[in-house]
Structure 1
Amino acid sequence: LENHRDAVFSVSFSPDGKTIATGSRDSTVRLWSKDGKKIQTLQGHQARVFSVSFSPDSQTIVSGSWDKAVKLWSFKGTERQRLKKLRAAVRSVNFSPDGLMIAAGSDDNTIKLWSRRNLCNGELKSANLKPANLKPTVGLDHNTNFLPFCLTPTILKGHDDVIWSVSFSPDSQMLVSGSEDETVKLWSRDGKQIRTLKGHKGKVFSVSFSPDGKIIASASGDKTVKLWNLKGQEIETLIGHNDGVFSLSFSPDGKILASSDSSGNVIMWDMDISLDFNDLLGRACDWIGDYLKHNAEIDESDRTLCDGIKPKSK
């Protein structure tokens, strides 16, 4: 796909598989058909576009930019809504799978969560939910089938450095984030921090849930990909890259994990083989589970170490 005038930072397939969105250093978002034909150029950002993502119905595109703006676009190329401008550059944006929330990770070390306006806490009454009641702006899409997002986002604080990646769980109930502070954080849908996953020795550039929602993958400048369970326990470290790992993605069936590094290499990991360690851990927990639960000399904090960890055969 050749048409951008500068580097492409983000690529996203629509859920229906018909359209590709790209975000570029040339400050534009472009839409393409799956056979490579350009459909639309979305203009409005004033600086490089770091991240693009489709809504679950494939009809809306969200973009985040160095210009501190998060924008919502229609498939036809009109701007549907301009979310409140942030205080810092936006590195990552993502729709929740249920389409009711948008997350944005930025350079001010925070995550912003916007909800659809029918979920706002008294922000607008039902009479004001129509997009036509928004302040008119040039190019704003007034399609009444589009339900706008709340004016005020929930702010998630906890990271100590730039946030490079945010991703929702398949059931939309959790959010995972990766940061330059070398940590991965797990959050609840309402913005509460659940736990911090520590283990990387470099900046975390990309995070993702597996399609079944049971595994979190993280990619780092330390040249590794790590796999974690939802309890925050490291399942395995995937070693094979010779440079920092910047992006990763699961196949729809969860059997393959693809990761790419700054040298231009892509590694395809077979998750069935990679997770043999998890099966071994499950068997070990199956063996010592009763000991952890009932031995009087075990600290109370250690009694739940094996909760939920089982071998594949169970």
Structure 2
Amino acid sequence: MLETMDVEASFPPARDFTMARESTNSVMCRLTDPDGTTLGTQMYLPESAGPKELNQMVNKLLNNDEKLPYAFYISDQELVVHLGSYLEKNKVSVEKVLTIVYQPQAVFRIRPVTRCSSTIAGHNEAVLSVAFSPDGQQLASGSGDTTVRLWDLNTQTPLFTCKGHKNWVLSIAWSPDGKHLVSGSKAGELICWDTQTGKQLGNPLAGHKKWITGISWEPVHLSAPCRRFVSASKDGDARIWDATLRKCVICLSGHTLAITCVKWGGDGVIYTGSQDCTIKVWETSQGKLIRELKGHGHWVNSLALSTEYVLRTGAFDHTNKHFSSPEEMKKVALERYNKMRVLLLRDWFLDQMISQ
């Protein structure tokens, strides 16, 4: 008779699990997988056996070289106590054969991040800004060495070193289609780069009187191909630019102090946060002020939209699909945004904003 299952060494060979019942402290059991296939033959198990002991037994019967974790179910109820407690609580007769379903569990462990997975070297001065590409395949970095670098995340190697700025690169932003990157510097100039070649597109965009504090592109579901983006500056203005025409098309003026952050929302408006303690909401066709949000007692340092992830990734998802045209990309991006919009409307908010 199997009297204890506290340690694996106490198990007899698998052929010996079929035994006559010699004590009232054991119960006849049948082990099956989720499909109903019986493991071994019916056997008497001690009422003191629980999930730990059953795990040992199943691994032994299956001849697993590497011990795997299993969960056990009786009548669709997970067994978390020893058999005796289950029988007593559920008033199960020991005269009947007890069917126990074993189910393998996922083998993974969650560990705290305690080490750096990789170090990508190349910049000669401090890295001041970083941004992932919408498809998650590349990383862009801006540095105090006045360069922008594009990196391949699969190989963790540099793709391009983009030179053109004359001062620190403070802010960078990918276009939602991943084809362009805009960088802003302490000198107040903006440069648009071709991410496929690393080449500068046209001359630097000038207009701001002080350094750039933020850049945000118009979402691809609103306009494809991606052409417009907005920049914010220490000079208190935000400017909407056309990347194709390479000129400022609208200047958003109204803040009394520096603009610290800017977001282009999925519903087509622009949000700016400022050291004047306000958040302003702008429409983007003529640059008119729609609303001014007051309440902060000090500078507004950052903004976040509830739809930010789907706006930033645009049409790209885990499938890594390639698009045949800007119109196809716009359609897919709109579908993704509308799905998110339905979820947010269900919870009574859309493009909800968090400011700090």
With the shorter chain as reference, the TM-score category is: 0.5 to 0.7
Contact 1:204 1:220 (C-alpha < 8 Å) held by counterparts: yes
1:148 paired residue among 194, 197, 200: 197
The 3 A distance-change label for structure 1 pair 35 and 77 is farther
Mark the runs of 5 or more structure 1 residues left unpaired by the alignment. Answer: 1-32, 117-146, 261-314
Which one has the largest radius of gyration? 2
Aligned to 1:237: 292
Aligned to 1:94: 173
Aligned to 1:185: 239
The 3 A distance-change label for structure 1 pair 90 and 205 is same
The 3 A distance-change label for structure 1 pair 198 and 44 is same
Aligned to 2:21: none
Equivalent pairs, count: 197
Contact 1:103 1:113 (C-alpha < 8 Å) held by counterparts: yes
2:262 paired residue among 192, 203, 207: 207
- Describe the superposition over 1:54-108 as per-residue Cα deviations: whole angstroms up to 9, x where unpaired: 1121010001122211111111321111111520011100110011111001111
TM-score, length-scaled by structure 1: 0.59
Describe the SS at the equivalent of 2:302: strand
1:167-178 → structure 2 map (5 Å cutoff): 167-171=216-220, 172-178=226-232
Give RMSD over aligned pairs: 2.1
Percent identical among aligned pairs is: 31
Aligned to 2:207: 158
- Which 4+ stretches in 1 moved above 4 angstroms? 33-38
Q: Which amino acid aligns with 1:194?
A: V
Aligned to 1:251: 306
Aligned to 1:79: 158
Mark the runs of 5 or more structure 2 residues left unpaired by the alignment. Answer: 1-109, 221-225, 308-340, 342-349
1:4-153 → structure 2 map (5 Å cutoff): 36=113, 38-75=116-153, 76-116=155-195, 147-151=196-200, 153=202
Deviation at 1:36, TM superposition (A): 4.9
Aligned to 2:6: none
- Describe the superposition over 1:215-249 as per-residue Cα deviations: whole angstroms up to 9, x where unpaired: 10111111111111112111111112222112212
Contact 2:146 2:163 (C-alpha < 8 Å) held by counterparts: no
Contact 1:211 1:250 (C-alpha < 8 Å) held by counterparts: no
- Describe the superposition over 1:4-45 as per-residue Cα deviations: whole angstroms up to 9, x where unpaired: xxxxxxxxxxxxxxxxxxxxxxxxxxxxx9985743222222
- Describe the superposition over 1:134-177 as per-residue Cα deviations: whole angstroms up to 9, x where unpaired: xxxxxxxxxxxxx3222555411111111111111112221100
TM-score, length-scaled by structure 2: 0.52
